[in-house]
Chain A
Amino acid sequence: MAGKTLFDKIWDSHVVTEVEGETLVYVDRLLIHEGSRHSFSMLRDVEMEPYRVEQVFGFADHYMPTETTDGGIPGVKDEKIRGMLELMEKNTAEFGVRNFGFHDPNQGILHVVPPEQGISQPGIVLCGADSHTSTHGAFGSISFGVGASESGHIMATQCLWQQRPSTLRINVEGALPFGVYAKDIILGVIANFGVGIGVGQAIEFAGSCIESMTMEQRMTVCNMTIEAAGRMGMIAPDDTTYEYMDGRPYAPKGTLWDEALEYWQTLPSDEDAVFDREETLDVEQLVPMVTWGTNPGMALPITGIIPSPDEAQDEDQRREIEVALDYMDLRPGMGMAEIEIERVFIGSCTNSRIEDMRAAADVATKGKAKVETWVVPGSRSVKRQAEAEGLDKIFTDAGFEWREPGCSLCTALNGDLLNDGQRCVSTSNRNFRGRQGPNGKTHLASPAMAAAAAITGKLTDVRTLG
Chain B
Amino acid sequence: MEPFTKLTAIACPFDEINVDTNQLCPTRFNKLPVGDPYLQKVMFHDQRFTRDGERRNTDFVFNREPYTKAQIIVADRNWGIGSSRESAVYAMAAFGIKSVIAVSFGDIHYGNLMKNGLCPVRLSQQACQNLRGQLFDNRGATITVDLKEMKVIAPDGTEFEFDMHPLKRRCLLEGRDDIALTTQYMDNIKTFEAKHHSDKPFMKVQEPE
Which residues on A are within 8 Å of B, measured CB to CB? 13-14, 16-17, 19-22, 24, 26, 28-29, 35, 37-38, 42, 46, 48, 51, 54-55, 80-81, 83-84, 117, 123-124, 129-131, 145-150, 152-153, 156-159, 161, 163, 195-196, 199-200, 229, 231, 249-253, 256-257, 259-260, 263, 295, 316, 320, 323, 411-413, 430, 432-435, 438
Question: Which of the residues B106, B112, B203 comes within 8 Å of A123, measured between beta carbons?
Answer: B203
**Contact across chains for A22 and B165 when beta carbons are under 8 A apart:** yes
A196, B78: Cβ atoms under 8 Å? yes
> Within 8 Å CB of B85, what residues of A?
35, 147
Contacts of A411 in B (CB 8 A): 27, 83
Residue of B with least CB distance to A35: B30
Whether B189 contacts A158 by the Cβ 8 Å rule is yes
B86 and A263 form a contact (CB under 8 A): no
Whether the Cβ atoms of B86 and A20 lie closer than 8 Å is: no
Does B111 reach chain A (CB closer than 8 Å)? yes
The answer to whether B31 touches A80 (Cβ under 8 A) is yes
Please report the C-alpha to C-alpha distance between residue A21 and residue B179 in the assembled complex, in whole angstroms.
18
Take A147-B112, A156-B179, A433-B23 as given contacts and tell me if A252 and B18 are in contact as well, using a CB distance cutoff of 8 Å.
no
The answer, among B17, B51, B179, for a CB contact under 8 Å with A42, is B179
Closest to A78 in B: B31
> Does B188 lie within 8 Å of A17, measured CB to CB?
yes
Contact flag A129-B167 (CB < 8 Å), given A123-B203, A438-B46: no
CB A60 to nearest CB in B, in angstroms, measures: 15
Complex CA–CA separation, A117 to B206 (angstroms): 11
A163 touches B165 (CB 8 A): yes
Please, which residue of chain B has its CB at the minimum distance from the CB of A36? B86
Q: From known contacts A24-B182, A156-B179, A158-B193, infer whether A263 and B200 are also in contact, taking CB-CB under 8 Å.
A: yes
Contact between chains at B17 and A250 (CB < 8 Å): no
Q: Is B134 an interface residue (CB 8 A)?
A: no
- Contact partner, B205, options A17, A54, A148, Cβ 8 Å: A54
Binding site for A on B (CB under 8 A): 16-18, 20, 22-23, 26-28, 30-31, 33-34, 46, 51, 76, 78, 81-86, 104, 106-109, 111-112, 115-116, 165-168, 170, 177-183, 185-186, 188-189, 192-193, 196, 200-203, 205-209
Q: How far is the CA of A229 from the CA of B82 in the complex (A)?
A: 9
Give the one of A81, A83, A147 with max B CB within 10 A.
Answer: A147
Instruction: Report how far A342 CA is from B64 CA in the complex, Å.
Output: 36
CA distance A199 to B78 in the complex (A): 10
User: Do the beta carbons of A250 and B208 come within 8 Å of each other?
Assistant: yes
Question: Is A152 in contact with B18, judged by CB distance below 8 angstroms?
Answer: no
| 19 interchain pairs, CB-CB under 8 A | A20-B165, A24-B188, A42-B179, A48-B179, A54-B205, A149-B86, A149-B112, A149-B115, A157-B189, A158-B189, A159-B189, A161-B167, A199-B104, A256-B201, A432-B20, A432-B23, A434-B23, A434-B27, A434-B46
Please pick, from B22, B111, B166, B177, the residue contacting A20 in the complex, using a CB distance under 8 A. Answer: B166
Q: Are B81 and A412 in contact (CB-based, < 8 A)? A: no
Q: Are A252 and B22 in contact (CB under 8 A)?
A: no
Q: Which residues of A contact B31 (CB under 8 A)?
A: 80-81, 83-84, 413
Docked CA distance A196–B78 (Å): 9
With beta carbons under 8 angstroms apart, the residue of B17, B196, B201 that contacts A316 is B17
Whether the pair B206, A157 counts as a contact (CB closer than 8 A) is no
The 9 lowest CB-CB distance pairs between A and B, nearest first, are A249-B208, A260-B202, A149-B115, A20-B166, A252-B202, A147-B112, A131-B84, A148-B86, A22-B167
Besides the known contacts A24-B189, A124-B203, A157-B183, 15 further A-B residue pairs in the complex with CB atoms under 8 A apart = A14-B196, A17-B185, A19-B185, A24-B185, A26-B193, A35-B85, A38-B34, A131-B84, A147-B115, A163-B165, A199-B107, A257-B202, A316-B76, A412-B28, A432-B22
Given contact pairs A22-B167, A42-B179, A161-B178, A147 touches B84 in the complex (Cβ within 8 A): yes
Contacts of B209 in A (CB 8 A): 253
Partner of A413, one of B27, B106, B177, B179: B27
How far is the CB of A388 from the nearest CB of chain B, in Å?
A: 21
- In the assembled complex, which residues on chain B have CB atoms less than 8 Å from the CB atom of A229? 78, 81, 106-107
Q: Which residue of A lies closest to B15 (CB)?
A: A319
Q: Report A-chain residues with C-beta under 8 Å of the C-beta of B78.
A: 196, 229
